[in-house]
Amino acid sequence: MTEAVPEGGMARHAGGHGVRRSRHGGWRLTTLLFAVIATLPLAPRVALSQGSGDRTRGASADSALRAISRGVAVLPETVTVGDPFRVVVRVRAPRGATLEFAAVPDSGTGVEALDPVHVVPTLDSTATEQTATYRLAAWDVGARAIRIPDVIVRDSLGVRRVAVGRTLSVFVATVLPADSTERVPRPPRALYEFGPPWWWWALVALAALGVLVAVWWLWRRRRQPVSAVRRSPRDEAEAAFGRVEALELVASGERGLHVALMAEVLRDYLSRVVPSAAPSLTSSELLLQLRGDGRLPLPRLVRLLQDVDLVKFAALPIDAVRAEALGGEARALVEAIDVAVQPREPAVVPGGPAPRDAREAA
């Protein structure tokens, strides 16, 4: 019970199915053709862009070999007068280049270097890179310009200069109160400082000379002091005897000291009237020196010196009466020696001729 299908229907069905296939295949072919047509004009452009990219990369690589870069920083940017701050300069140049940094910046703007520049290289095998540090200080308030000379770069292309910065500055803050407006900066110091002029020293010399002349004139006009009355050796001995007796050594129990001091006064008197009787001689040496002088009462002098030596050096006990007697003997020997040694003026007889000195004085 099969139904017969007309041949034409099968053809139509097949034809219709074939049309549908051709219709789908056509759309795919059309899309491919449009894609090919669209890509054909772009192919030269892609090739051109690839060529230009290669040239750009080559130019950039060549410029990278010749490029020089630098960076500058001021640390800190605000300081007070005299406080140190740093200026850090970093320069990168092609490999093999040499960099020359200025030792110190320009000091004409009130900014001075505290230390020479400190240069530290950076380990880099592809380029030459160095960092220079300047330690500075500013001596006036306000915005102070920092002028650092250019960095000199020497490489295979020649000598080039790299500007560090034309507008570098640091701000110096004041430490005065906000209401103070009386700050007057000191004037700049002279390049050469000389001392006072020569006429100033001439005036000083004239003034000193005037003072010396005035002192000399006053010294010449001053009153001459009254010359001291010259006393004879006997008078000096009598005064010394009086000072020893005023001590009252006998009454205080110092009888040996009394005798020694009285004998010492006698020895001083002898040294004045007899040049050979030096005070440094011992008693024995003194007696030997005076042995040939017939003017002196040597026996009395020998006995006195022997008794005094026993009291001084042998600690011979002596009572008050004996001590007074030895002191009186020393005074008596001074009187006797003075009479024998000192010259006496001739006595004037009334009505007789006057002495020769008196006649000469008249």
Looking at the structure, tell me whether residues 93 and 25 fall in a common domain.
no
Confidence of residue 176 (pLDDT cuts 50, 70, 90): confident
On whether residue 348 sits in a domain, the answer given is no
Higher per-residue pLDDT: 6 or 219: 219
Looking at the structure, tell me whether residues 168 and 241 fall in a common domain.
no
How many Cβ atoms sit within 10 Å of the Cβ of residue 71? 11
On whether residue 61 sits in a domain, the answer given is no
Give the percent of the chain with pLDDT over 90. Answer: 13
> Which strand ranges, in their side-by-side order, compose the sheet holding 78-80?
78-80, 169-173, 142-145
Tokens 């650092």 belong to which residue?
148
Confidence of residue 210 (pLDDT cuts 50, 70, 90): very high
Looking at the structure, tell me whether residues 100 and 15 fall in a common domain.
no
Q: Are 147 and 108 in contact (CB under 8 A)?
A: yes
The most confident of the ranges 44-53, 105-114, 338-347 is 105-114
Looking at the structure, tell me whether residues 31 and 117 fall in a common domain.
no
Higher per-residue pLDDT: 222 or 144: 144
- According to the model, what pLDDT value does residue 125 have? 82
Q: In Å, how far are 130, 211, 219, 229, 269 from 223, measured between CA atoms?
A: 89, 20, 9, 18, 35
Domain span at 140? 67-173
Average pLDDT over residues 298-321: 89
CB-count exposure of residue 84 (10 Å: 0-12, 13-18, 19+): exposed
Q: In Å, how far are 72, 95, 97, 151, 222 from 161, measured between CA atoms?
A: 15, 16, 12, 6, 85
pTM of the model: 0.35
- According to the model, what pLDDT value does residue 275 have? 83
Residue of 248, 336, 260 whose CA lies nearest to 299: 336
pLDDT tens-digit profile of 321-353?
A: 988 998 899 999 889 888 888 765 444 444 545
On whether residue 328 sits in a domain, the answer given is yes
**Tokens, residue 53:** 């990219």
Q: Are 236 and 342 in contact (CB under 8 A)?
A: no
CB-count exposure of residue 255 (10 Å: 0-12, 13-18, 19+): buried
Confidence of residue 209 (pLDDT cuts 50, 70, 90): very high
Looking at the structure, tell me whether residues 16 and 111 fall in a common domain.
no
Confidence of residue 225 (pLDDT cuts 50, 70, 90): low
On whether residue 182 sits in a domain, the answer given is no
On whether residue 212 sits in a domain, the answer given is no
pLDDT tops 80 at residue 7: no
- According to the model, what pLDDT value does residue 179 have? 57
3-state class (DSSP) for residue 56: helix
3-state class (DSSP) for residue 153: strand
- Give the domain CATH number at 80: 2.60.40.10
- According to the model, what pLDDT value does residue 286 have? 86
Average pLDDT over residues 92-112: 85
Q: Are 241 and 229 in contact (CB under 8 A)?
A: no
Looking at the structure, tell me whether residues 25 and 75 fall in a common domain.
no
φ and ψ of 90, to 5 deg:
-120, 125
- According to the model, what pLDDT value does residue 59 have? 47
CB-count exposure of residue 25 (10 Å: 0-12, 13-18, 19+): exposed
- According to the model, what pLDDT value does residue 66 have? 59
What is the rounded distance in angstroms from the CA atom of residue 124 to the CA atom of residue 93? Answer: 11
For every residue of 83-135, DSSP letters joined together read: -EEEEEEEEEEETT-EEE--SS-B-TTSEEESS--EEEEE--SSEEEEEEEEE
Lowest mean per-residue pLDDT among 43-57, 97-111, 138-152, 229-243: 43-57
- According to the model, what pLDDT value does residue 223 have? 61
> Which strand ranges, in their side-by-side order, compose the sheet holding 151-155?
98-100, 151-155, 158-162
What is the rounded distance in angstroms from the CA atom of residue 251 to the CA atom of residue 245? Answer: 10
Average pLDDT over residues 129-140: 89
Average pLDDT over residues 54-72: 59
On whether residue 303 sits in a domain, the answer given is yes
pLDDT tops 70 at residue 144: yes
Looking at the structure, tell me whether residues 18 and 72 fall in a common domain.
no
Looking at the structure, tell me whether residues 264 and 332 fall in a common domain.
yes
φ and ψ of 173, to 5 deg:
-85, 145
- According to the model, what pLDDT value does residue 206 have? 94
Total domain count, the chain: 3
On whether residue 189 sits in a domain, the answer given is no
On whether residue 195 sits in a domain, the answer given is no
- Mean pLDDT, the chain, integer: 76
